[in-house]
Structure 1
Amino acid sequence: MGDARQYHDLSSPFAMKRGGELHGARVAYETWGTLDANRGNAILILTGLSPSAHAAANAADPTPGWWEAMIGPGRAFDTDRYFVICVNSLGSDKGSTSPASIDPRTGEPYRLTFPELSLEDVANAAHEAVHDGLGIAQLACLVGCSMGGMSALAYMVLHPGSARTHISVDTAPQAQPFAIAIRSLQREAIRLDPNWREGAYAGDVWPDHGMSIARKLGVITYRSAMEWNGRFARIRLDADEREGNEPFGFEFQVESYLEGHARRFNRQFDPNAYLYLSRASDWFDISEYGDGNVMRGLSHIHVDRAMVIGVSTDILFPLEQQETIAKGLEAAGARVEFVALDSPQGHDAFLVDIENYSRAIGGFLQSLL
C-alpha cells in the first residue's frame, strides 16, 4: 500500500490562537481529480475528530477511505469536474503536527508541551495548505463534517472571501452542554488511566483502558437510540461469547459491539492528540466573533450559496443547531438550502446513509456548474 499523503510546511513560527507557536510544523492532505487552469474548481473537506486525510481511494493508496462512496467520478464529489482536497487537522496524529510529533527544539515528543489547540488553528493551517501550498485563492466549495464543520465556520470567518459556497454537515456553531459533558467524560477516562502518565505513555505502556471507554462513549452518542433498539434490542450473547466467570462481564450483544469498536480504535489514534482535539471542539464558539451572539458571529460569513444538512436523530449536534447555522448564513446574504434528514443512524448518518447525503450534496454541487 502506498502513501497518498502530501504535506504542506506551515509558516514558522506558526502562531496559535490561545498563545504559543509551532516551529517546523506541517499538515498532511490528499487530493482527487484535477485542478483546472483557473484554479476555480477546488473543494476542501474538513474532517471530524478522528479521520485522516484519506477520504477515498486514489492511485497512490487504493485502500477505501472514510467517505469512499462519496468521492470519485460520477459520485457526489465528482472528480471528473472537481478537484477535491481533504486536509488532516492540525493536532491530529494522522500525518499532521500533533502532540505525538517531535518538538524540534527538544528532540522529544511534544506531549503536553504542545500549545493549546483551537479549531481556529486547525482552520488557519488548512487555509495555508490550500492558499499558499496549492495556490488556490478561492474554493468553489468548503465542506465541513462534524468537528470539521466548526473548523469550516472558523475558516470562513478568519479568511473572508476564501470560499464561494459552503456545505455544512452535522455540525454546530458552538458546543452545547451535552456535547461538552460527553467529551469531558471521554477526556477524564483517558486522564484517569494510570498508563496515561500525564501524557508520557510510550511503547507498551499505553492508556488502552481509558481510550476504550472514551471510544465507547463516543460510539454511543454517534448513533441514535432508535438504531440501538432496532439493531440489538435485548439480544444476549451466546454462552461461549461471554467473558467466562468474570463478575459483571458482558452479557448483551450491544456490549460486545462496543468492545469491538473500542479494540479497533485503540492504538490507532494518539491519546494526547485525542485530548487536544476534543477540548478544541468544546472551546469553539462562533459567538466570539459576534460579541457573544451566535447570529452576529455568523453574520461575518459571506458565501454565495450554502447547504446545511442535519439529522433529526443526532443527539451530539442537534438539528436546531444546524437550523441556526442556516438562518445565520441566510441573514448574512447567502442563498441557503436546509436539509433535515430522518436517518436513524444519528450523528454518524453522514458516514452511513450515503444515498441521502449523496443526493443532497451531489445535487448542490451539480447546480454550481
Structure 2
Amino acid sequence: MTDARRYFELATPFAMKRGGELHGARVAYETWGQLSASRDNAIMILTGLSPSAHAASCADDPESGWWEDMLGPGKPIDTDRWFVICVNTLGSCKGSSGPASTNPETGNTYRLDFPELSLEDAANAAAELVHGLGIGQLACLIGNSMGGMTALAYLSLHPASARAHISISTAAQAQPFAIAIRSLQREAIRLDPNWNHGRYDDTHYPDTGMSIARKLGVITYRSAMEWVGRFARIRLDSEQREDEPFGAEFQVESYLAGHARRFVRSFDPNSYLYLSRASDWFDMAEYGNGSAAAGLARIHLQRALVIGVSTDILFPLSQQEELAEGLRGGGADVDFVALDSPQGHDAFLVDIAGFGGAIAPFLASL
C-alpha cells in the first residue's frame, strides 16, 4: 500500500509569531478530487489537535480516515465537485515539522528547541501550501475544534483568502474551563518522570502522563449524557478487574483506559504540549483592539456556516453563537446550526447525519 501523504516545503526561513524561525520546515497534506481549470473549487480542512491529514480513504491509501463518512464522492463534502485539501498542522507529529522532527541545523530531534508555536504559525503554513498549489482563493475553509481557531487566524491574517467558511465546534478564544483542562493535561505529561524535560525515548517514555492527559481529554470530548447512556454504573466482570488496590472497577474506567492505550504511543508528547498551549494562547481579541467580537468583524466573507452542539462542554454553544454574530458583523451571510447530538465535542466525528445534514446543503449553495 502506498501513502497518499504529500509534503510541501515551507519558505526558509519561516518566521514564527512569538520569535524564532524554522529552516527546512514542511507540512504534510492529502488531497481528494480534481482542481478545476479555473482553480475555484478548492476546500481546505484544518484539523483538531491530534488528527493527521488522512481525513478519508483514497486509491493510494484505502484505510479509513478520521472523517471518512463526511468526505468523498457523493458525501456531504462531495469530491466529485470539490478539490479538498487536508493539512496536518504545523507542530504535529503526523508528517509536518514539529518538536518530534529533526532540526536540520543540528541533526538532532528538536524536542523543546522547537520555537514557541502559535496557531497563527499553523495558519501561515497552511496558507503557504494553498499558494504553493496555485490556488488564489479557497471556495471554503473548514475548521474543526482547534482547527477552527486556526481557520480564524488564517482568515484574519490573509484577507480575501476564502469566499466561505465552515466553523465547527470551536471558539474565538479559549475560555477558563478549556484552559484549565488543557493545563492539567500538560501538567500530567510534565510531571511524569520519564518526560525528562522533553528528553524521552521509546524505553523511557511518559506513558503514564500521556495516559492521564488522554483520559482527561476524552472526558471533555464527550457529554455526561453519553456516559450515562453508554455505561451507567455497570461494573466490570471480576476477571476483568485489575488485581491491585483501587484498580478499575467500572466499565467507563476500562473504556478510558482503552482509549489511552491506543493514543499514548501514537502521538508525540512534546507535540501535544506545544499544540495544547497554542490553543490556550489563541485570542481573536488580538485582532480587534482587545475585543474578540471586533476581531471577528474584521473578517470579510461572503458566506459562513457555524455549527455547535448543545452538549459540548469544551466549546459550548454560547461560543458558537458568539462566532456567528461576530462573522455577521463583518458582513457575512451566516447560517447558525445548533445540534443536540449527545456525543458532545466529538459529535462532528460521529454524528454525520447531523453535521453532514448542515454541511451538504451549505456547500451545495456555494
Bin for the TM-score computed over the shorter chain? over 0.9
Where do 4+ consecutive residues of structure 1 move more than 6 Å?
none
Unaligned runs of 5+ in 2: none
CA drift of 1:114 comes to 0.3
Residue 151 of structure 1: aligned partner: 150
The question of 1:77 aligning with 2:93 is answered: no
What RMSD over aligned residues (CA atoms) do the two structures have, in Å? 0.5
Residue 61 of structure 2: aligned partner: 61
Q: Distance in 2 between matches of 1:359 and 1:343?
A: 13
Which residue identity is paired with 2:240?
A: E
Residue 177 of structure 2: aligned partner: 178
Residue 310 of structure 1: aligned partner: 308
CA drift of 1:204 comes to 1.3
Q: Distance in 2 between matches of 1:81 and 1:152?
A: 22
Q: Distance in 2 between matches of 1:205 and 1:248?
A: 25
The question of 1:187 aligning with 2:186 is answered: yes
Q: Distance in 2 between matches of 1:23 and 1:91?
A: 14
Which residue identity is paired with 1:173?
A: A
Residue 204 of structure 1: aligned partner: 203
Residue 248 of structure 1: aligned partner: 246
Which of 256, 259, 262 is the matching residue for 1:261?
259
The question of 1:345 aligning with 2:337 is answered: no
SS in 1 for 2:162: coil
TM-score (normalised: structure 1): 0.99
Residue 222 of structure 1: aligned partner: 221
Which of 320, 331, 334 is the matching residue for 2:332?
334
Residue 7 of structure 2: aligned partner: 7
Which residue identity is paired with 1:331?
A: G
CA drift of 1:332 comes to 0.8
Unaligned runs of 5+ in 1: none
Which of 269, 285, 288 is the matching residue for 1:287?
285
Residue 161 of structure 1: aligned partner: 160
TM-score (normalised: structure 2): 1.00
Q: Number of residue pairs matched?
A: 366
The question of 1:41 aligning with 2:66 is answered: no
Residue 362 of structure 1: aligned partner: 360
CA drift of 1:195 comes to 0.4
Q: Could you give the per-residue CA deviations for residues 287-306 of structure 1, whole angstroms, max 9, x where no partner exists?
A: 00111101110011001000
SS in 1 for 2:69: helix
Q: Distance in 1 between matches of 2:134 and 2:276?
A: 31
Residue 296 of structure 2: aligned partner: 298
CA drift of 1:202 comes to 1.0
Q: Distance in 2 between matches of 1:294 and 1:72?
A: 35
CA drift of 1:331 comes to 1.2
SS in 1 for 2:123: helix
Q: Could you give the per-residue CA deviations for residues 50-93 of structure 1, whole angstroms, max 9, x where no partner exists?
A: 00000000111110000000011110110000000000000001
Q: Distance in 1 between matches of 2:339 and 2:159?
A: 30
CA drift of 1:203 comes to 2.3
Q: Distance in 2 between matches of 1:4 and 1:98?
A: 20
Which residue identity is paired with 2:364?
A: Q
Q: Distance in 2 between matches of 1:346 and 1:19?
A: 36
Q: Distance in 2 between matches of 1:352 and 1:70?
A: 10
Q: Distance in 2 between matches of 1:203 and 1:105?
A: 24
SS in 1 for 2:272: helix
